[in-house]
Amino acid sequence: MLKRCSCGGDMSLMLRTVIFAKKVNINNVPVYNCSFCGRNDVFPGVKEDVGKLVGKLGNQPAPGSIPFDQVHEWAGVLSKASNLSDPLQASVITRTAEERVNQLLDLLLIATSLQDEEWKKELHSRLSQLSGHNVS
Ligand SMILES: [Zn+2]
């Protein structure tokens, strides 16, 4: 779970609270953190969605906190994996992600049999949040 920082130090993946506009706590955002120089990089796979979330909050957000692990499937997987392994291990993340995909596919079968188009759309977008995030 390591990445090289521009300072030459090792960056490790962790879940952090990002504070937006000094008012809104966005909890459990996957971030690469450098223990050497303290630099934080939002995990590339969720960067765009964090940006969208912040865009929706606007310039004058109401104070509060947002559990990002419930907004974004990938953050949810990392949050679950971090309860199972500390520090985060790629094998645990991969297994947790596979389990979540299977769970969503099961739900998709149910949604399809119920012909619930709204639910199907929601499940498809959750599945797409998980695709393409290989960490190994
Ligand atoms: Zn650094």
Q: What is the pLDDT of residues 2-18, one digit of tens each?
A: 789 999 999 988 999 99
pLDDT above 80: residue 70: yes
Query: Smallest Cα–Cα separation from 84: which of 63, 73, 99?
Result: 99
- Tell me which H or E stretch contains 101: helix 90-113
Summarize pLDDT for 33-61 with one digit per residue, the tens: 999 999 999 998 899 999 999 999 988 88
Ligand 1 center to residue 3 CA distance, Å?
10
Q: Are 24 and 57 in contact (CB under 8 A)?
A: yes
Neighbours of ion ligand 1 (CB under 5 A): 5, 7, 9, 34, 36-37, 39
- Asked if pLDDT for residue 133 goes beyond 70, the answer is no
Q: Is 90 exceeded by the pLDDT of residue 115? A: yes
- pLDDT, residue 136, reads 43
Question: What pLDDT is attached to residue 37?
Answer: 97
Please give the distance, rounded to the nearest whole angstrom, from the Cα atom of residue 134 to the centre of ligand 1. Answer: 23
Q: How far is the CA of 23 from the centre of ligand 1 (A)?
A: 27
More confident of the two residues 135 and 34: 34
